[in-house]
Structure 1
Amino acid sequence: MSTIQIVTNYKQVPDSSMILLVEGIVQRLTGNPYFNIPPERLVVFNTLKDDFQVNLGKSQGGSKVDTLNKNRSKLNLALFMEDLALDLNIQVKGDREKLATTGFTLVKEPERHKQPGKPTGFAISYGVSSGEVVLSVDSCSDSKFYLFCYTIDPPAEAHPSNWKSVASTSRKVLVEGLTRGAEYQFCCAYQGTDGKPIYCDPVKVLML
C-alpha cells in the first residue's frame, strides 16, 4: 500500500476557507492528465460544495437548525473530500509531484537531513487494569513515529528490534494483555526518515 501523501481530513478547515479550497481542487482536477476522475464525480463535488455554501449563508445570523444544517453539509463535503483524496493517492501511488497538482494539501514531511537522537524521558506506569502499562517518551519533531517494544524477561532475543512492538504517531501508548507477576523489559525508539530506529536503554518492570 502506498504511503498517504496528501491530507485526507478536512473537517476542521474553517468554514470561510472551505469554499475556496474546494473550488481550487475542482479547477485543478478538471482535465488533469495524471488522474482518472469521471466528470460526474466532480459534478457531485460541486453539488456538495454548493449545498454547504447555501447552508453556510443561512447559518450566519440564523437559527440553531440552520447551524445544524450547515454542519451536516460540511461533514458530507469533508467525507467526500476524504474519499477523493485517498483515491488520488492510490492512483499515483503516493507520487508527491503529481499530487501537488490536485489542490489538496500535501502531508508535511520531516526534514530529511535531520535524524532523531536517542529517546529521552522514557517512562512506564501501570494501567487501570491488571496486565496493563502505559509507555511514554518525550516528543521528538524529527521522528516520523514512535516505536514501543517489550518482552518477558529474560528476553529470548537480546535486541529490541526482535521484541513485540507497537508503532504509534503518539508519544504515549497503552499495552495490554501482559502476564501478572512476570517481569518484562520495555524500551522505545524514535524512527526518522531514514527508517532506522534509535532505541533507548531497556527498563525492567514487574507486572502487578
Structure 2
Amino acid sequence: MSKSKIITSFSRYRDAEFSNKAKFIINSMTANANFAAPVPSLGEITAADNDYTAALSDAETGGKAAIALKNQARENLEALLLKLSHYVLIYGNDDEVVLLSSGFSLSKGGNPVGILPKPTGFTVKSTDKGMVTIKLTKVNGAGMYQYEYRVVGTETWTTFLSTKSAVLVEPLTSGVEYEFRVTAAGSADERIYSDVLKSFIL
C-alpha cells in the first residue's frame, strides 16, 4: 500500500489562492490535538502570512519594487510552510485522516521513506556558560532531527525538534554533567539513535 504524502509545492496556487491556502493551514493547525507543538510555530507562520497579505495588497497598485517585496514575502512563507510540512509528516504517523487535519493537501504514490540510519559525526561542545553546541552529519531523507538531553543520572529526556544539523542548546545548569543523543526523523516510526555523548556545562 502506498503511503500518503504531503504536497509541499505551492507553485500551482496563484498569489491570492496561496494566501487562502496558508490561512487554511494555519486555522487547521490551531488547537489541533494531533500537532501539539508545531515547528515552526504558528505564531511565526501567522506573522509571515500577515506580511505576505500586506505585500500582496501593496503589489496590486505598486510598481516593480512592490511586486519584488510581494515575491520575497511569498518565498518566505512558502519556506516556513515547507518546514511545517516536515513536522506534520513526522507526527502524522502516516494516518491520512490526521494528515488531512493539518490543512495540507495530500497525494498518493511514490516509494515510502525507510528507516533512517544512525546519525554520524555527532559532537557536543560546551561553548559558553550554560550552553552547548550540537552538530552531526546531515542524514539524507531526514525531514527533521530529534534532539534529546538530560542530566546524567536522571531518567527523563528533554526533547526538541529542529530541521538543522547544528543547534545551540540553552539554558543548561553550569557545572552539571549532561548527556545528549539525536535521531533523524523521517516518515518511518522506527528511530535509530546516535551514541550518547556526555558533557560538563561551563
Alignment TM-score, normalising by the size of structure 2: 0.55
Q: Could you tell me which amino acid in structure 1 is paired with residue 133 of structure 2? A: V
User: Within 1, Cα distance between the matches of 2:66 and 2:178?
Assistant: 53
Could you tell me which residue of structure 1 aligns to residue 68 of structure 2? 71
The unaligned stretches of length 5 or more in structure 1 are: 11-19, 30-44, 57-67, 101-108
Partner of 2:198: 204
Matched, 1:181 2:180: no
- The equivalent of 1:123 in structure 2 is 123
CA distance in 1, matches of 2:162, 2:185: 10
Structure 2 unmatched runs, 5+: 22-52, 83-98
In the alignment, structure 1 residue 143 sits paired with structure 2 residue 153: no
Note if contact 1:148-1:187 (Cα within 8 Å) is conserved in structure 2. Answer: yes
Pick from 55, 59, 62 the counterpart of residue 63 of structure 2. Answer: 55
Other-structure match for 1:112: 112
What SS does the corresponding residue of 2:63 show, helix, strand or coil? helix
Q: Return closer, same or farther for 1:50/1:186 CA change in 2, 3 Å cut-off.
A: closer
Q: Trace 1:6-21 onto structure 2 (pairs within 5 A).
A: 6-7=8-9
Task: Give the number of the structure whose alpha-carbon radius of gyration is greater.
Answer: 1
How many percent of aligned residue pairs carry the same amino acid?
24
Q: Check whether the contact 2:130–2:171 (CA below 8 A) recurs between aligned residues.
A: yes
On the 8 A contact 2:6/2:105 being kept in 1, the answer is: no
Aligned CA distance change for structure 1 residues 187 and 110 (closer, same or farther; 3 Å): farther
Structure 1 runs, 4 residues or longer, greater than 4 Å off: 48-54, 89-92
Counterpart of 2:63, as a letter, is N
Cα 1:130/1:4, change in 2 over 3 Å: farther
Higher relative contact order, chain-length normalized (CA < 8 Å, sep 6+): 2
Amino acid across the alignment from 2:116? P
1:164 to 2:158 alignment:
yes
Q: 1:7 Cα deviation (Å)?
A: 4.3
Counterpart residue identity of residue 172, structure 2: L
Total equivalences in the alignment: 144
Please give the root-mean-square deviation of Cα atoms over the aligned residues, in Å.
4.2
Per the TM alignment, residue 136 of structure 1 is displaced from its structure 2 partner at its CA by: 1.1
Q: Give the distance between the partners of 1:110 and 1:175, measured in 2 at CA.
A: 36
Structure 1: distance between partners of 2:59 and 2:200: 58
